[in-house]
Amino acid sequence: MEAIGKKRWIIPDCELPREGEGELKGHESVIIVNDNEEDVRIKVTLFFTDDPAYEGIEWTVKAKSVRCFRMNNITDMCGYTVPLETQYAMKLESSGNIVLQYGRLDNRQVNLAYYTTLGYSE
């Protein structure tokens, strides 16, 4: 049986917030579920309004597992520093079907804002 999910995803509305106030720190994350019997490799491309796309990020998610990647974690981003408070989009191309969820915690003000959404897949 084929694994659940798709191989190509777009997250159109990314913006890494500052850490903000409070105990919980502002961040973005992409959570990936790999329902395959083997590990998947995921090529990540970042698109910006005025700058060229960045293509130097590659992730691996082990078979039958879930993994969270944080945009403010330089290790997760393969050495790339995502600019703060800058609108960008993300494309993910996987070697196998995956399901992903995007989340942003924005607490640049006292009131906490957190939301998640599925990316677009084809």
Fold classification of 6-121 is Hypothetical Protein Tm1070; Chain: A (2.60.290)
SS3 35: coil
Tokens linked to 40: 């998947």
The tens-digit pLDDT sequence of the chain (122 residues) is 888 999 999 999 898 887 777 677 767 999 999 999 999 999 999 999 999 999 999 999 999 999 999 999 999 999 999 999 999 999 999 999 999 999 887 776 666 666 677 665 65
Q: Calculate the CA dihedral of residues 13, 118, 59, 70 and round it to 10 degrees.
A: 60
Q: Would you kindly state where each structural domain of the chain is located, as residue ranges?
A: 6-121
CA 98 to each of CA 33, 66, 73, 75: distance values in angstroms, whole numbers, following the listed order: 6, 10, 22, 21
Which stretches of 15-110 are assigned E, i.e. beta strand?
27-34, 40-48, 54-61, 65-70, 88-106
Helix (H, G, I), strand (E, B) or coil at 83: coil
